[in-house]
Structure 1
Amino acid sequence: MTAEVQKYTLEQIEALEVAPGFEHEKLEGWVPSLASDEEVRDALEKAFDYRGDVTITTKSGDKIEAYVFNRQTGATLQDSFITYFAPNVNGKLKMSYAEIARLEFSGKDRAAGKHWEDWVKAYNERKAAGEKDIALHPDKLE
Structure 2
Amino acid sequence: MKRMIAAVFFCVILLAGCADTDKVSLVSWMQNLDAEQTKVYFWSMDTQEEETGETELTPEERRKLISILSNLSEDDITWNRRLAGITPEYGFHLVAGDGDRYINQAGAPHGQTEISFEKKQWWIESSELFEFMKSFLEAS
Give TM class, smaller chain: under 0.3
Greater fraction helix: 2
TM-score (norm 2): 0.21
Greater fraction strand: 2
Greater C-alpha Rg: 1
TM-score (norm 1): 0.21
